[in-house]
Chain A
Amino acid sequence: MEYKKLEHTLSPSFPKIKLISDTIINLVGLLVVVGLFWLYDYFSWPTWAFWILMFLIVFSILGCIWSFIEPTLLYRSWSYQYDHNYLQISFGIMKKQWITIPMTKIQAVSTIQGPIMQRFNTRSIKIETMGSAHTIPALEESIALQLREDLAEYAKLKEVDE
């Protein structure tokens, strides 16, 4: 027996968006580490600092390599589905997760768009419930706006007893 894949997927440009934003973050991180190496050299910090810096650099290089593989894998793993009663989302590379949220428990829906996402005409959707918050990253603009409207509409109903 297997879990079924859900109906909708993310925008096909999601891997590109993620790769670009990850690369920017990684470059900044790398710059910081290089800066620390310079400080280490300039102020002749003790040896143990060298090992910590080595660890940091190995870690960030591994992170860089991973950031080239991760977006595609994550894109393939992401899916979502919704109807009048439930929102379902599913994602995860090493550990796959399926989340079911009753519409009545959704409290706020918002769309977010950064400069890179704007370039690709996508938006991400943040869903806040009574106990948690989930984000669907990068949906095509029209789909995202439609989803926001639909969720807002379906989530209007509230249960007795709240």
Chain B
Amino acid sequence: MRYHPMSIAFRIYQFIKNSIFIILLLFLLRRESEFWLFEYGRYAFIGIFILRVIYLIVAWFIEKYEWKDRAFHIQKGVFVKHASTVPFSRIQNVTRKTTAFHKLLGLTSLTFETARDGQDDAIHFEVLTKKDADFLIDLVQPGKQEEQSFVALESDSIDTEMKVDKEPNNETERLERTVVFNPERKDLWKASFTSLSFLAIIPIVFGAIEYVQPFLPEADEVEGLLQLVLHSKWLIAVIIMLAVLIAVGFGVGRTFIRYGKYEISASKTHIYIDRGVLNESFFAIEKRRIQGLEMEQTFLKRIFGLAEVKLISSANPNQPEGGVNVNSLYPFLPINQAYKLIETVLPEYNLNIELKRLPRKSLLVKLLRPSWLWIIATVLLVYFKPDILNLEQAWWMVSLLLLLIIIIQRVLDYIHTRYAISLDQVQWWQGGLTSRMFVTKRKNIIEMKYSQTRLQKYFEVSSITTMNRSNPPHVESITDIPTPFALEMKDWYFKRTEDVELNS
């Protein structure tokens, strides 16, 4: 089957979008220039553009996809032919994105990601109709796949009545999606401030200034205007007020557009995320691919009582354009709601276990550990003695400030560190200014490392590092926990064989 004909238009649009700077430079800003680079550059660009369009049209005729025996068969490439087969069972998550381009035409795009390592491992449908997208998503649903094989097996056996009885139940149970989270207006306001997204206006403004510089009046005139403004305190106040208002408005707007329409829902086997106001996207991940969970709280988020919940999954955390990480459930969840969400979506994770705190001696270890960053920075500062803000003494102040920050960071880390293991689960909080919670199941840990420096040995504490399957592997560690606990955890990990099932 061929792809949707509009994919040609989409690819041309993308080509133009990606080379927008070159186009502006060649045909607008330097349109008068007779410098050879620009002169020939214009012809070269037009040539490349025409070739590209021809290529895309030819490619559309050649590139095909089809599905047979529960697998996609894909043909790619004009000069170098590339055929691949992707079984539905390899598909780990589904992302559906509707950008402004798609919205305009009432179409959408679809990506199936697989767990294979390598570059070209996802199946993209750049443009397709909404109906086709629904159909394809429905087609690859792993839940359904098992269902079908199950049905096939059952029909072989004599007992048909049983099947009829069982099937509809299973079907509805599997595919039923319950909404578990919708952001509230209040949370979005908090989110706009914690994300500091209003600061995002600064680079945009600077970019814009640079961009319009050639069109601005002469520098002298601007200077005159500046003098005028500086002389009136009134005017300055108004301008600052306006600037703050614009920045905040911009930040709030950005957050609302990004996270305003957001819905997390779950079925028995999958987690779904629908989000976006301008660029809509849909994301689905199979629950059994989840290797662990992370919760992150930056300093600002802690003040507002928010946290970000992230999934550690064995699927590729392929970051699509737009920058919102697909492995993040929602970056601004109120903390108790975050716990509740995890409980409902992933009931096998139990977060109500009482966590232990570090003993006093761990704080001592943390404070006594030499900070290489501080030592190197101080040596450099002593040697160069830079003048900062015309202060000759600045070097020792900076060094002291850095030391203070490092100490605060370490004390906070001591306060935040809490840990516990239960029957088949390990959970801990740690971190200084930004603190993080990590929880995983014993069977999902693929490697354990225990370590002890001389200093730690003296105080009888150790560090533990775990590794989870992900791409790249997810490494997590907790430092300065009492050695008896580390040994207990070592024994605990040896019992891992109880949790896993082996293929014979």
Please list the residues of chain A having a beta carbon within 8 angstroms of any beta carbon in chain B. 1-3, 85-86, 92, 94-102, 104-105, 129-132, 157-161
CA distance A129 to B467 in the complex (A): 11
Q: Is the CB of B288 within 8 A of A161?
A: yes
Residue B321, interface by CB 8 Å: no
Residues of B within 8 A of A161 (CB): 288, 501
In angstroms, how far is the closest chain A Cβ from the Cβ of B30? 41
Please list the residues of chain B having a beta carbon within 8 angstroms of any beta carbon in chain A. 288, 443, 446-454, 457, 460, 467-469, 472-473, 475, 483-484, 487, 490, 493-494, 496-497, 500-504
Q: Is the CB of A97 within 8 A of B449?
A: yes
Contact of A94 among B454, B460, B467, B504 (CB under 8 A): B454
Q: Is the CB of B452 within 8 A of A95?
A: yes
Residues of A within 8 A of B453 (CB): 94-96
A sample of 16 cross-chain residue pairs with beta-carbon separation below 8 angstroms, ordered by A number, consists of A2-B483, A85-B494, A95-B451, A95-B454, A96-B453, A98-B450, A98-B490, A99-B448, A100-B447, A100-B490, A100-B493, A100-B494, A130-B473, A131-B473, A132-B447, A157-B503
Residues of B within 8 A of A96 (CB): 451-453, 457
Q: Is the CB of A105 within 8 A of B504?
A: no
Question: Taking A97-B449, A131-B467, A161-B288 as contacts, is the C-beta distance between A1 and B501 under 8 angstroms?
Answer: no
In angstroms, how far is the closest chain B Cβ from the Cβ of A39? 25
Residues of A within 8 A of B472 (CB): 131
Residues of A within 8 A of B454 (CB): 94-95
Q: Is the CB of A97 within 8 A of B451?
A: yes
Q: Is the CB of A129 within 8 A of B447?
A: yes
Residues of B within 8 A of A100 (CB): 447-450, 490, 493-494
Question: Taking A86-B494, A159-B502, A161-B501 as contacts, is the C-beta distance between A3 and B452 under 8 angstroms?
Answer: yes
Residues of B within 8 A of A101 (CB): 446-447
Q: Is the CB of A160 within 8 A of B503?
A: yes
Q: Is the CB of B446 within 8 A of A105?
A: yes
Question: Taking A104-B502, A159-B500, A159-B501 as contacts, is the C-beta distance between A98 and B449 under 8 angstroms?
Answer: yes
CA distance A2 to B496 in the complex (A): 22
Question: Given known contacts A92-B451, A104-B500, A158-B503, what 8 new A-B pairs fall within 8 Å (CB)?
Answer: A96-B452, A97-B450, A97-B451, A98-B450, A98-B490, A129-B447, A158-B502, A159-B443
CA distance A145 to B240 in the complex (A): 75
Residues of B within 8 A of A132 (CB): 447, 467, 473
Residues of A within 8 A of B484 (CB): 1
CA distance A92 to B450 in the complex (A): 11
The residue of chain B having its C-beta at the shortest distance from the C-beta of A89 within the complex is B449
In angstroms, how far is the closest chain A Cβ from the Cβ of B336? 32
Q: Is the CB of A159 within 8 A of B451?
A: no
In angstroms, how far is the closest chain B Cβ from the Cβ of A88? 9
CA distance A157 to B504 in the complex (A): 7
The residue of chain B having its C-beta at the shortest distance from the C-beta of A4 within the complex is B487
Contact of A99 among B449, B468, B469, B496 (CB under 8 A): B449
In angstroms, how far is the closest chain B Cβ from the Cβ of A129? 6
In angstroms, how far is the closest chain A Cβ from the Cβ of B456? 8
In angstroms, how far is the closest chain A Cβ from the Cβ of B485? 10
CA distance A3 to B462 in the complex (A): 10
CA distance A65 to B457 in the complex (A): 26
Residues of B within 8 A of A104 (CB): 500, 502
In angstroms, how far is the closest chain B Cβ from the Cβ of A156? 10
In angstroms, how far is the closest chain A Cβ from the Cβ of B98? 33
- Most B-side CB within 10 Å, residue of A92, A99, A131, A160: A131
Residues of A within 8 A of B475 (CB): 131
Q: Is the CB of B483 within 8 A of A1?
A: yes
Residues of A within 8 A of B502 (CB): 104, 157-160
CA distance A102 to B497 in the complex (A): 9
